[in-house]
Structure 1
Amino acid sequence: MSNPAFSQFSTLALKVVGVILILSSLLDYIILLIPFDPMNPDWQISFTSQIVDRGIIPMVGISFLILGYWLESAIGNSPAGKISFTDLRFWSFLLAAILGLLFLLLVPVHLSNLGRASAQVMQQIEQSASQAEDQITGQLDQVTQLLGDNARIQELDAAIASGQVQGEQLEQLQTIRQQIEELRGNPEAIEEQANQARTQLQDQRREAENQARLTAFKSGFRIGISSFLLSMGYLVIGGMGFRSLAGGGRR
């Protein structure tokens, strides 16, 4: 190196940046654990997604740290001999191996949690659709009963003819009376409207189910692939790092 002072500064800067990235990411992971609720699948899905999205940061920090030691070795400032347990390289490689196993484990765990969460969403959609179907049936029964209830129709006619109801209330009663006559003249219209409501409900249900499946697939694919790639990267770094340490720490 033509400038030893600059080279020494570069090695120190790389090490410091690497350590800061590693420690800040680990602190971030700890904060993400709060509130700690590991038995809740929704919490597991959220935690997994967030740490996978941040999973590259420790890898960058470890790379900076290793590069700093490599540069130090290249300029001849690193001590000879095997690396001890107090060396940052040992702990960085150990962290890489642990993170590799963690991200590998998260792949099936995340997919399993997504499957259960998707099943719950489907069940909620089914319940909502059933409730809406019951409401349609109930409204149809009420209209049918009203059309056949001559006593209530006579009460409605009497209220309109009495002159005691004025303004908007009178207009509403007249509109209801007109609708009753129209429905009496065309009873099939009631069933047609009910069928249209059922068809619209089924379309909304299918759309909600398709959206839920798509969301689960996108999350599973993105997080699953990212977590698997991160695990491979960390395991390679950890494995090669420990082999280099076993060989004396020099390349």
Structure 2
Amino acid sequence: MTVSENRPNLPPSSRVLTLVGLILILTFFLDFLVRLTSPQLGNAEVQLTLLNDLIDRGVIPLIGLSLIYAGFWFHLYTKPPLVTDAQDDKELRAAWQDPKFWTFVFASLLGLMFLLIIPFHYAKTGDVIQKALDQVEAEWTRNKATIDQQLNQVKVEEQQWQAIGKDPTQLDQLLNNPQMPPQQKAALTQLKKDPQVLKQNVDARVKQLQQQQTQVAGQLADAEKRKAEVVKRAEGERSLTRLRAGIRSILLAIAFASIGWTGLRDSSN
């Protein structure tokens, strides 16, 4: 009994492995080719999502190439030994005419692609996080301006009431102010008739305004604290996303390059 007679008859298995591997690779690239036609592709957030998905799903073509690689060597193992003339013809055949050669070149190119993804992902992560930080800064600026305006209004009103408390004649100036709201003017007119009630109301209003100042200052401090927390969280997310994507991309690049280089080396032997 010859060696070839002892080998299992597995050609169908090698074809199944190759077919499944090709389907995995094709579905992976077709999915991303369709997504490249998205009208929102110019958005940095969409681009970052695409890069993240490319890295996360990079194991799919890796499995596909592994199956194709296994199918090639199953076929080589199961086919009968070639006669000398056929072996000579195979040696004379150019490498580019061998499908295995292009398969392993493709694997090596995928490894290079995942290496090149790293700087692109790094840049896009910075763009997206910086955009988010700019939005936080803009919102913070608007909130601070609103709070500062409220605080200034309270301080101005407090100064007016303190002035009335020190010099009741200031009340006449307020009453003669055409911009004074009618309801407030009526209330001040009533207070002018009774100096004792006026003093009590001035003291009560000044105290109330001081409490408002304390509350507004507290709102400003809370807003600053929230801003610092958001910035810290965004910086941490940026570093973590970059680290995660970088490690996965490097591992995928090593895996693809290993398949490509090993296949090319074994094919040449």
TM class by smaller structure:
0.7 to 0.9
Is the 2:125–2:238 Cα contact (8 Å) retained in structure 1? yes
Match of 2:11 in 1: 8
TM-superposed CA distance for 1:88, in Å, is 3.2
C-alpha offsets along residues 126-169 of structure 1, whole Å, 9 cap, x if unaligned?
2211111110011122333445385447723748x9xxxxxxxx
Structure 1 unaligned runs (5+)?
Answer: 162-178
Structure 2 unaligned runs (5+)?
Answer: 1-5, 162-173, 190-200
TM-superposed CA distance for 1:39, in Å, is 6.0
TM-superposed CA distance for 1:121, in Å, is 2.3
Is the 2:21–2:64 Cα contact (8 Å) retained in structure 1? yes
Query: For 1:121, which of 120, 123, 132 is the aligned residue?
Result: 132
Q: What RMSD, in angstroms, separates the aligned Cα atoms of the two structures? A: 3.1
Structure 1 CA distance for aligned equivalents of residues 105 and 51 of structure 2: 21
2:96 is paired with a residue whose SS is coil
Rg larger for: 2
Is the 1:69–1:78 Cα contact (8 Å) retained in structure 2? no
Match of 1:155 in 2: 183
TM-superposed CA distance for 1:55, in Å, is 0.6
TM-superposed CA distance for 1:245, in Å, is 2.1
Q: Which residue identity does 1:100 align to in structure 2?
A: G
Match of 1:32 in 2: 35
Is the 1:183–1:190 Cα contact (8 Å) retained in structure 2? no
Is the 1:21–1:61 Cα contact (8 Å) retained in structure 2? yes
Match of 2:54 in 1: 51
Is the 2:8–2:78 Cα contact (8 Å) retained in structure 1? no
Is the 1:183–1:189 Cα contact (8 Å) retained in structure 2? no
C-alpha offsets along residues 51-91 of structure 1, whole Å, 9 cap, x if unaligned?
11111111111110111111111222586535753443222
Q: Give the aligned length.
A: 229
Structure 2 CA distance for aligned equivalents of residues 180 and 110 of structure 1: 63
TM-superposed CA distance for 1:229, in Å, is 0.9
For the structure 1 residues 114 and 93, does the alpha-carbon distance in structure 2 shift closer, same or farther, using more than 3 Å as the test? same
Matches within 5 A, 1:97-246: 97-147=108-158, 148=160, 150-151=174-175, 152=180, 155-156=183-184, 158=186, 182-246=204-268
For the structure 1 residues 154 and 25, does the alpha-carbon distance in structure 2 shift closer, same or farther, using more than 3 Å as the test? closer
Structure 1 CA distance for aligned equivalents of residues 186 and 119 of structure 2: 70
